[in-house]
Structure 1
C-alpha cells in the first residue's frame, strides 16, 4: 500500500492538475505564504516552497494554510453538501473548488473548534461513510500509527454531592484539589471545593485559582482551637455523600474523618506527595505514640499542619481512609490505592484551539524563536538555573528561555538573566485558565529534577501534564514518576549529556503529524479529565458498596485535641428565639435591611438566638451561579450559600441556613406528582432539623418574614410560632415584568401574611399605602445606617488600589445596576467631570446594557463588593449619587445606599425619587442639568455638612421601640389559619376578541397562564367559562351581570357582591376605587363558593 501511494504522488506531482492547484492556492488570500513559513520554521529551514509543501505534505500533516482557514471547522460542514461532493482530500482546495460556491465558511466567525466538536464530527463521518471507517482501520494497521483520536463518551453522573477538601487554599496544595474537583464534575452531579485559609500562606485564595470557574470556599484556619471550631461548624451543618480529602495533612484528613464519623459516608484520601519528605528524617507516628506524648510537647504544636500532626496524619490516612488515590506509581508503591495522575481538561488543553503564531504575537515573543519554557515559580533548586545556563551556552540568538511566573526572591531573576546571557523573557503569574494559551507558545519543556532528592522521588510535576496536554515535546529526568511518562510515550528521557547539547538537538526535531496524534491519544486516554472521571466514579461506587473502615481510636484523638486546645465558646444566652425568613439567597452579601435587622436582634440581651433561612434552592440552580463574571452577583451568591452551609458565617447568637436540595426531587404541588414529593414536605423537615440542632422551640419563637416567601403560609400553619413579624421591603407587584398571575398571587400572599402579623412594618410610605388595606396597623420603620461603619479594605483588588491612590475627585454609586439606573445621566456625569473618577459598585446581572458605560475612560465598574468592604470604598467618595429613573419600582423603595453614603459622611445628590431621608446632605433634583450643577456644588471644597442628625437614623434608633413592644407584649400566642372565605374553586372567564363563544380555540398562552394558576393553587378546582356560558349561568341567577363590554371589560356588576375584574393591562374595576388588584380575593364575585377572574383577551 505504501509503494502504491508513493507511486501515485510521484506521478501526479508532475501533471497539470498539480500545476492548476498551485496557481489556485497562489492566487487565494487564504493561503498565506509568509505566515506558513513563520508558523512552520522547519519548512523555511528546508528552503521549500510553502505551496508545494502544503500540497504534497502539509495538508496531510494537519498543517493550516493560513490564519484565516480552519481545516477542522471546514470539514465539519461538508455534510451540508450533496453526497457526490463530500469526498475531501485537501481541505483548502476543496473549499476553493466546491465549498465556497456552496456557502461553506473557511473559519468560524466567533470561536475555535473544540475537541468535543471534532469528536462529534468524527462520529458523524464514521457513521456516514463506512468506506472511510474501513480505510482508517486498514491505514492504522499497516502503519502501526494512530490516525484518529478516541471518542470520549459522556459519563452518566452519580446523583450525589461530593466534597473535595484541600488543606490550605492560599498556596499550591489547592492546585491538585481543584483539578480533581473539576474532573469529578464529569462523574458527579454536584461538586463543592473547600479548604482552610491559614495566614502563614496568605489571606486569599491561591492566585492562579482566585477567579477559577469552580469557586473555592475558604474556611477559617488559624491555630488548633480556631481550626477545630471551624471543623465542628462545617460538620454540624453540611452533609455531603462522599468526601475526598487532598494530601495526607491533618486539616483536610481530620475534617474528612469527622464527616465520615457523623454521617457514615466514604472517605477517600488523595496522596500526590510524600508529605513526610518535607520534614527532615520524619517517620509516621501512630495514634498510640501521639496519645502517650507529654502535653507540653503537643501544646507547642499549635498549627494543625505542624510536624507532629503531619506525621500522625500519615497513619490516619492509611488506617481511616476507605480508599486511596495516588498521583504516580512511586506513591502507589508506598501507599497503594488507585493511580490518578495529574490530569487536564481535554476541552481546554487542545492544541487545535490555539495558534502558536497568534499567541506569540499577543505576548510579544518572537514568532520565529525557538522557545524553551519554564512555567511555575522560578527557584534555582527547581532546575530553572540549570536550564538558563544551558540556553546561555548555546550560540544561537534564536533560542530563548521563557519563564512564566514571578520569583519571590528577585535575586533569582537576576541570576537566571545572568546565566542565560540575556536570552530570557519573563511573563507574570498566570491564572490556571490561561495555562493552555501560554504553554502552546513553547517548542520544548524540560523538567530536570534531582533523582536522589526525597521529594523528587515521589513527585510528578503538574507542568509535565500541561506540556503533554498541549502537544509540546517534553524532556524529563529518570525519577520513577517521570519514567512512567516515558513508558507511556508522552515524554523523552533526558540523556546523560550536557544540557545545552540536549536542548539544541531537541529543538531541531519537530513532531510529525502521526507523532502528535499518538501523543494526543495518550493524553486523552490517560491524562485527561475524562480518564480521571472514569476512575473516580468507579472508586466512589466501590466505596459506597463496601463496608466502611472503622475509626478505631479516633474518639481518643478528639478528646486529646479538645483538652489541649479547647474551643472558646460564648456563654449561653437567654431570651427568646427569632427565626428570620429572607426571600432571596444573598443574606450576608449586601448588608441589606434584613442583614442589619439580624445584627440588631442578635445584639439584644433578651434574644437568645437568631436563626436565618434563605430561600430554598436546588443544587442545580446553585451550580448555575458559579459564573466568574465579576460584574454580576452570581459567583458571590454561590460562595455565600456554601459559606452558610459550612457554618463559616455563624456566630454564637446567629445561625445562617439554606435548604439546598437535589434537583428533580421536589415539586411545588402540595401532594406531589407521583414521582416527586412536595417541596414543602422536604423543607418542613429541614426546618425542624435546624430547630432541633439550634435548640429552638418554634411555638415559643418569633417568626420574622420578608415577603415574598412562597411557602410562608404553610410554614406558619405547621409550626405555629408565638408571634409573627412581617417586614415588607418591596411591593413586588410594582416591579417591571411581573405577570398578571404573579400579581394575583402576590396580593393573596400579602393579605395572608399581613392579616396575621403581630407586628407589621414597611420601609417607606408608598409600601405602607399599598399594604395598609391588608393590615391597617402596619408601621413605618424606614431604613437606617450603622452608627460606626465597619472598615475592612478589599484585598487583591486592583480597582480599590487605584481608587485609594487617586488624587482627584471621586463620584460614586453603590447598588444593583438594574433597569432603574439612568444610563444617559451617568454618561453626562462622566463627560462633565472628565478629570474625576466615576465609581459604580454593584451587579449588572439584571441590566447588561449598563456595561456599555465602561467605554468611558474615567468610569470604573467594581461589580459586586461584599458589604464588609463597602464602607472602605464609599469612604473614598467625595459625593454619592442616586441616578434613579422615576418609575413604580423606585417609588416603592427606600434606597439603603443613601444611608451608607451618609454613615461615611458623604453628601448625596439624587434624582427626584420618593422616600429619601430629609437631611441637608441629601439634595434631590428634577433634571440632568440640575444634577450636574449639584454635583459641582457638592464637590466644592468650601462646602460642609452637619451629620449630627445621623444618630436618629441608626438601626438601633429605628428598631428599638418596635422590637421592645413586640418582645414585652404578653399577648397570647398567635394561631395562624388561612384567610377565611377564600374559595376552593377558580373560574376563568374567556372573552374571545373574535366574539367566538367556544373554548376549543383557546390560545396556547392562555392555556399556559391557566396552568400557572393550577400549579400555584393545586388544591383549587380550575374551570374555564366562555362569555356565552357565563351568560347562561347568570340568566336564571339572582346575581345578574348587567353589562359586559367585551372590548374594554370596563364593568361587570352584581346586585349582591362587590366585583373586581382583572384584564390583561392589569386594570382593576370595582366599586372600591384605587384598590390594588386582587386586594380582596375573598370578596370577588361569588358563585357557589367560587371566584371568577377575567383572564383578558390574550393575557
Structure 2
C-alpha cells in the first residue's frame, strides 16, 4: 500500500529524516481528532503514538487543521539497516485499519541527494542535502569541462524544500553565472558535485547556452570590478541578441552611472522603461534626474531667442524669475518684453526640479525674442553656486526682480554686490499667502529660528517670509495693481500684452474653434491657465450642468496636476468637458478669441485672491471676449460688473452667454490700460528711478551670505566665493604649512570608524607622529557617520567590533578621547533622527564646516599639515573649503579591487582622483599600489608596514581564553570577512583535530565560514582590542596568513605579518603578494598538504625557542624607521616647494 485509505482514514509514511520516522494520519469524518498511529517494522510492533503534531504543509493541503503528523525516534540499530519495511495502522473501534505500508531506506544508508535546477535570473540554482546529517550544510562545487570550478554553500532557506521534508528547508544554493569563467559564446555543460568522505556525488548537470541573461550577468560582473569596456561589450552583445529585452539597456544604465554619465544613464533607463514600463524603473529615472541636478556646481543652460529683433541702446537689463520651469516665468516674461524697449534684456533664473527640468512649456514652445539663461538647482548649494555663476556670466546695470521670493531677490542682490547693478522689485502677488504664512520675518528673527529644514527649498515658507522683509532693499518698486500699490507703493505695471499680437483682426476664430472640435453653434466657456481648486473650476462646471444647455462646453486649457480635480471635472453627467494641456504663449490670443466666455472665478475668501490680478483677464479683454469673474479688490478697476457676493453663478452665466451683459473691458480699454504701448513708459519710469538710486548693498544681505556660508549643507565654490566682496572667506581658510622644525599642527583624516581598535597602520604612525618634538597638536578625525549607523553598531546583538566602534565614536563626539597632543573628533550627522543625547546633529554635508570649526577651537589653523588615508569620505570637499597648503596622502591598499555597485565605484574613483591631485606627498603601502600611483602620473614613496618593538614578550602571561585550549595553538588575527581561504582552515582543523585553531577578528555569519568555525577545535574569539590581541598572538605556537590570491590581496601589505614576527611567533602564509620584507623569515606554502608540512616545521621551531628576526632587520622595519623615511621625503618635498614659491 502507498497512501491508501481504510474506512475513510487517510495517512502516509513520509520517510526517515534526522533519525525520525515521519508521517501523518487523519480521519476526515472526525477532522479535529488526533488518531493513534501504530508503527510496525518488518511485521513487528514498534510503537504507538498520537498523530497530533502540527505541520504547515498538511494545513495548506486541507488535512484538517494540520495537527495530524507524527514523528517517531528510531533506535540506531534500525537506522543502520539498508532497508526497513514499515506499516502504519490505526484502530477504529474494535477494528485495526492498515493505512500505509512501504519499504524505506535506513538513515545511514541514504545517499547525499540534491539537484541542479533550471537557472533563474542569471543564477545557478539548486539544493543539496545529507539525510544522515540533516543539520549539515553541504559545499557544492560547480565545474566546467576544462576544470574551472566555483563553490557555493547549500544553506539558503527555501519553502518548497521545507514542505518536501528536505530537513528544515535550509539546503538551497545560488551562484551567479559570473562565478564561473563562462565566455558567453559557446554552449557549455555545468556539473554540480558534492564531495563527502573522499567520495564525489554528482547531483546534476545543466547545459548553459548563450543567452541575454548570461551576457548581462557577465557584464554586471565586469562592472562590479570596474572593467567597463568588457561590460559594454557584453551588454552590446545582449542587445543585438534580443533588441526587445530591457536587460541590456539596464546594464548600460549601470555602466553609464558608474562612469558618471547621468544623461546617458537616463537615456538607457528610458529605453528599458519603454520596453518594460515598471514603476521601479520610473522611480529610478526620477532619482537619477534629481541627483543630476544636485551637483554643487551646476551647468549653465541657455534658451536662445528664436525671433531676432534689434535692441535699443540703453542699460543692460536682467529680468529675474524665481523659477524658470513654471508659471512665475509668465510675469517675468511680461516685464522682459517691456524692458526690452529700453535696453538689451535677458531673463535669468534657476530651474528647480520640483517644478520641471526645462523652460516653462508655454514659453519654451513659443517664439521668443529675448534669451533666457538658467541652471538646474537640485540642492541649496547648487542654487547658491549657480546664482553666483549666472551673475558672473550675465552682468547687468539693472536687475528687475520678479516677485519677492528668496531665489529671485538673491540673484538680484548678487547683481548689485558683484556688478553694482540697481535693483527694481516687481510685486504681483502676496507671496506669503502662497506659503501659508501670516507675516514677514526680519533677518534677526530668521536667524534666531534657523533650522535644518531651511536648507531643503530656497522657496520655502521661512525663506519667503524673509524675502518679504527684503522688499525695502529695492531701489524702486513696480506692482501689478492698485491694491498692491496701496500696500507697498511703486509704479503700476499691468499684466500687459502686445497689442499687435492680440489684434482680433489677425485671428481666424472659426479655424481655431474647428481645430478644437467646436461647432459654430457651441457656446465655449474657457478656462485658460493653471487649473487649481481655488480658481472656481468645479463651481463653473456645476453651474453649466445646471443650465442643461447641450450647446455648452467647458474647455480647460492647462495641464491639471491634481488628479482628483481632473477626475471630478470629467464626472459631470450631461456636461461636455474638454481638457487640453498647456499651450504655447503665442496661442493665448487665439484661444481667448475662440471662446464665447472666459471664466475667472477665484475664491474671494482666499488670501491669494485679495491681491492677485489674473493675467488671463488681460488676454480676454485684449480680444474682446466677455469675462465672468468674481469680485475681488484687484479687479475693481478692471471689471466693475464682476459677480458680487451672493449673486447666483448659474444666472450670471446665462446672462453672459445670452448677451445680457457684455464684457466690461473693451478693446479700447485694453489699448489704453493693458497694452505694451500703455505700460512701456511706466516701465521706463521705474527703470530710470532705480538708476538714480544710490544702490548700496544692504548690510543684512552680507550677514545672510555669512549665514549661508557657515550653515548651508555643501560648499560655496572657492572660485566663486572670491567674487562676493570678502563676505565669504575664499579658500584657503587655514594657514599655510610654514615650517617643519617646530609648532607643526596636523589634521589627520582616517577613512573608517575603528581607530585604536585594530592597531592599524594609521594608529601606529599616529603614535609616532605625536612623539615628534616638532609636532604641536594633532586633530585626528574618523570618517563621518550617521546616528542611524551608530544605533545599528551599538545594538545588543551587533558584532563585537561594531559595539567597540560605537562606544569610541560616541566618546569622540563628546570630546572624551583627547589625550596628550592628540584630539579625536568625529562628524556624527543626522539621519532618520536629528539628535543624540539631547544634542542636535548637523547634516552630513557640513563635515567640512565641522573640520574648520574644530581647527579653530583647538587653535590649529596655523602651520598646518593635512595627513589623509584615502578614501576619506568627503575629503575633496574639505579641501575645497579649507585649502590645506600641504597634504600627505597615505594610500593603504587599493579599494578599487573590491566588488561594488557602479554608482559607488564612480564616487570612490572620483574621491581618489581629487585627493591625489591635491596631495603634495603620496605614500604607498606596497609595490602594486606604488605602481598604480606612478601610472596615474604621480611620484609615490613606497613605505610598507612596520613593526612595533615589544619588550619582555617571553614573560607575558598567557590570556585566560587561551590557557585552557589544547596545544599547539595555531592562530590568525585580522579581517575574517574577506580573502580568507576557509577551505584551507577547514583542512588544517580536520587533518589535525588535536590542534587548536584560534581566529581573532570580526567573524562572518553563515556560509562556509560558519561551518568551519563550528568545528570543535576551531575557536573564533571575535574582535579583541589591539592591546589585548598582541598578548593573544604572543601566546600562539604558530601564526597563519591563509589568504586567497585575489586582486585585493595583490594590492595590500599584510600588517599582521609584521605583528606576528615582532612577537617572535613563527609564520606560515599562502603565496600572496607583498611579503618581501619578511619572505625569507617565514614559511610560504601552497595547498593544504604543503601548508600542514610548513606548520609542522614551524611548531618544531617554536618548541625549541621563540625566534625573532635579526635585530638590525627589526630596526629597519620598525615604525620609527618607517616614519623617519616619510619625514625625510616630507622635508625634501617641502623645501623644494618653498624654494620654488
Q: Give the structure-1-normalised TM-score.
A: 0.36
Highest RCO, 1 vs 2 (Cα 8 Å, sep ≥ 6): 1
Larger radius of gyration: 2
Q: Give the structure-2-normalised TM-score.
A: 0.34
More strand by share: 2
